[in-house]
Structure 1
């Protein structure tokens, strides 16, 4: 697997979240290069009257510089659920010759512009996750996918 890109709205506010990100990033190093880009929240916050404008601004930020040939995977609660083995298989196929870019929206979710551009919409379940926690779950699943592909015992 080549480089995996994660473009995400917002920073990880809690020390335990940054520790988890650091741990999984280190675990992924033998398998893939990881690039995480944190982008600012649109409209400097998440006031409800500005939700659509916020999502639109965040979409422009998330999509800026995304190559046309990239496989874009949007994390969205309405996306397709898959088990870890299927995710590993798909990730291997996606990363064949094209960059794989995961997009994580802000507190209001993803704008339609992101959903339209995405090649894949991926859900970790129907419950809403804070975007920081979704990032950690993604990192863990990326590591698990690498271990599955390598035939290691991490995955049970």
Structure 2
């Protein structure tokens, strides 16, 4: 199984980098995980709706350009479906059994996602109705991917 995580922005906080590195290490027996970071678009303090849409479109194009062609694309989006850990694990299993050996996850920047990105998604996934920092979502995502593999294999999981 190949997993690609495409995201806007670099992780600045040491605790997030260390947490993600730990889950990447734990995932090695289950999947080949690769993270691709693109630079976040900058936005002035009070952009017009048109300026914001244009900035999100440009960032979205750069994000989508990094998604492997053969990958099933899951976009992290506050308006997406909410799945339990067991449902998420079952989704990954279904994709694998159906011959999808590459899953890409896409995380936008602090200003959200362009509609084009949402339309390109095979699945839009939400972790919460709360607004959460996009960098923190990266850690949540890695933990849930790891948990999904443990659930799928019936292995115990304790933090």
Q: Normalising by the residue count of structure 1, what TM-score does the alignment of the two structures yield?
A: 0.92
2:40 aligned partner: 41
Q: Give the alignment of 1:1-156 within 5 angstroms.
A: 2-42=1-41, 45-47=42-44, 48-49=46-47, 50-96=51-97, 97-98=99-100, 99-154=102-157
The alignment's C-alpha RMSD in Å is: 1.6
**Preserved contact between residue 6 and residue 66 of structure 2 (Cα < 8 Å):** no
Q: 1:46: Cα distance to partner? A: 3.0
Structure 1: runs of 5+ lacking an equivalent: none
Structure 2: runs of 5+ lacking an equivalent: none
Q: How many residues matched?
A: 153
Q: 1:95: Cα distance to partner? A: 3.6
**Preserved contact between residue 81 and residue 123 of structure 1 (Cα < 8 Å):** yes
Q: 1:67: Cα distance to partner? A: 4.3
**Preserved contact between residue 147 and residue 157 of structure 2 (Cα < 8 Å):** yes
